[in-house]
Structure 1
Amino acid sequence: MAVETQLNPTQPVNQQIYRILRRDIVHCLIPPGTPLSEKDVSVRFDVSRQPVREAFIKLAENGLIQIRPQRGSYVNKISLSQVRNGCFVRQAIERAVVRRAAGMIDDAQCYQLEKNLQQQRIAIDRHQINDFFQLDDEFHQTLSAIADCKLAWDTIENIKATIDRVRYMSLDHISSPEMLLRQHHDIFAALEKRDADAVENAMALHLHEISESVLLIKQENSDWFSEE
C-alpha cells in the first residue's frame, strides 16, 4: 500500500482520504479482499475517524469497497457487471460530449489539448505510467470543459472507479499507452477539423478498447473479478 500521509490543510480531509485510497485501489496497490480499518487509516493520516468513515462511504458508493456492519470493510473484487454498465454509460456521454465540442472548440482550447498530448508523449517516453494515467483523465476532462458541460465529467468520475482498475491493469501489455495516445491524437485531429461525425467515431473506438481489454485481463487475473 502507498505510504502517503500528508494532507493539504486547505482541502476537505474526507475528500483527500477518499482520493488517496481510491488511487491505491485503482493502481492495484490494495488487492481484492484486503480489510480496511477505520482505525488504521485514521492513524495513517493522523485524523479522527469521522472523515475516514465518510471516505469509506464514498468508496462503497463507487463500488470499490464493501462495508459490513460489525464485520469491517473490505476491498471489492472487480465487478464485471459494473464495468460493462459503466462502459455503456461512459460511451453514451463522451460521444455526445465530443460531438458538442466539435462545434465549440477554439484555437486556445486546441492548444490546451495539444499541450496535454505532448505531456502524454513525455510520460510514455519516461515510462511514467501513473503520470500518463492522470494525463489521460485530464484529456477527457478537458473535452467536457470544451463542451461546456462540467456535469458530464462529474458523472463519468462517479461511475468509472471500477473501470479504472481494469484500465490500470491493462496499461502495461494490453491497452498500451502508445496505442491510447494514437487514439487521443485521432480524437484531437477530428476536433481540429470540427468534424463531429469523425470525432464521435474516434471516441467510440477509443472507449471500446476498455470493453475489449476487460475479458483479457479477467483471463489473466480471474481471482480479482466477480460476475456480479
Structure 2
Amino acid sequence: MFTREATVDQINIVTSGNSTAQQVYAWLHGRILRGELEPVARLSETEIAHQAGVSRQPVREAFIRLTATGLAEVRPQRGTFIDRISIKAVLSARLIREAVESDLIRMVSAHPGDALLDQLDEQLAAQRDASEKQDVEAFIALDDRFHHSLAVAAGHGDVWDVLEGLKSQMNRLRYITARVFDHQKLIEQHGAIVQALREGDTDAAEQAMRLHLREVLNDLPEIAAAKPEFFTE
C-alpha cells in the first residue's frame, strides 16, 4: 500500500450561490471521478486550502462530504485518503441502470421522432470526433448526454439525475477504461440503439441497451487485475 500525497492544481473559488465548501467538494469530486486523484492518495487539508485560497474549514467540510459518499476515508492519526473503487458499488449501479434504462428505451421506442433521432446522430458523430482526438473527458460527457437525452425523451429526465447520484464509483471506472480500451465498441453499441429506434424495433432497442450496459462486466475484471491496489470489494 502506498500513501503518496495527492497533488492539486489551482482552483478558483468564485462568488456564487454555492458555498465555498460546496465548490471545493465539487472540484475534488470531479478530480476523483476523472482519476486525477488516484485511490489511496493522501489528501492534504493544508495544501488544498492553500491552493484554493480558502481557510481549512470549508476544505474540512468537503472532506466530510467525500467520506460520506464513499470517495474518501479518514484514517485516525494518519489523515484523509482517496478511497478505493468499490467493485460492489460499481456492479450495483450497473444493475440499477440496466433495470431503469431498459424500461426507458422501451418508452422511447414507441415514438422516437425525427428530432430525437437527429439529435442522437449528432451525438454519435461528436463521440467519434472525441474518440479520434483521444479526449476522454469529452467522450464520457457525450456518453452521459446520450443516455440523458433518452431519459428526457421518455419523459423522465429526473430519473437520470437520480442515476447520476448513484454511479460515482462506476464513473471512476469509466474514466479508467476510456483511457485503456478502444471507444469504438461503445460507439457501435450506441449506434445499434439508435438504429433499433429508427426501425421502431422495441425488443431490439431494449436488447441493445442491455448489451451496452453490461459492457462493464467485461471491462471490470481486466482493470481490477491490472490495478488491484485501486479496488476493494
3-state SS of paired residue (2:35) = coil
Aligned amino acid, residue 188 of structure 1: V
3-state SS of paired residue (2:171) = helix
Aligned amino acid, residue 197 of structure 2: L
Quote the sequence identity (%): 34
Task: Flag the 1:141–1:54 CA change in 2: closer, same or farther, 3 A.
Answer: farther
3-state SS of paired residue (1:74) = strand
Task: Flag the 1:219–1:67 CA change in 2: closer, same or farther, 3 A.
Answer: same
Q: Is the 8 A contact 1:98 1:200 kept in 2?
A: yes
Q: Superposition RMSD on alpha carbons, in Å?
A: 2.2
3-state SS of paired residue (2:125) = helix
Q: With structure 2 as the length reference, what TM-score do the two structures score?
A: 0.86
Q: Distance in 2 between matches of 1:50 and 1:114?
A: 47
Unpaired segments of 5 or more residues in structure 1?
A: none
Pairwise mapping of residues 70-219 of structure 1 onto structure 2 (< 5 A)? 72-174=79-181, 176-219=182-225
Pairwise mapping of residues 54-69 of structure 1 onto structure 2 (< 5 A)? 54-68=61-75
Task: Flag the 1:31–1:91 CA change in 2: closer, same or farther, 3 A.
Answer: same
Aligned amino acid, residue 52 of structure 1: V
1:138-182 residue CA offsets vs partner (Å, 9 max, x unmatched): 1111111111112321121111111112222122343x2111111
**Mapped pair 1:29 → 2:36:** yes
Unpaired segments of 5 or more residues in structure 2?
A: 1-6
Q: Distance in 1 between matches of 2:107 and 2:92?
A: 23
Aligned amino acid, residue 225 of structure 2: Q
Task: Flag the 1:114–1:34 CA change in 2: closer, same or farther, 3 A.
Answer: same
Task: Flag the 1:189–1:80 CA change in 2: closer, same or farther, 3 A.
Answer: same
3-state SS of paired residue (2:142) = helix
Q: Distance in 1 between matches of 2:99 and 2:151?
A: 13
Aligned amino acid, residue 195 of structure 1: D
Deviation at 1:8, TM superposition (A): 5.0
Task: Flag the 1:8–1:211 CA change in 2: closer, same or farther, 3 A.
Answer: farther
Q: Is the 8 A contact 1:34 1:75 kept in 2?
A: yes
Aligned amino acid, residue 122 of structure 1: D
Task: Flag the 1:154–1:173 CA change in 2: closer, same or farther, 3 A.
Answer: same
Task: Flag the 1:96–1:33 CA change in 2: closer, same or farther, 3 A.
Answer: same
Q: Distance in 2 between matches of 1:69 and 1:105?
A: 54
Q: Distance in 2 between matches of 1:101 and 1:111?
A: 14
Deviation at 1:203, TM superposition (A): 0.8
Deviation at 1:223, TM superposition (A): 1.1
Q: Is the 8 A contact 1:97 1:152 kept in 2?
A: no
Instruction: Give the length in aligned residue pairs.
Output: 226
Structure ID, larger Rg: 2
Deviation at 1:15, TM superposition (A): 4.3
1:49-108 residue CA offsets vs partner (Å, 9 max, x unmatched): 454344334433432112457753211111111111111111111111211122343222
Q: Distance in 1 between matches of 2:17 and 2:112?
A: 32
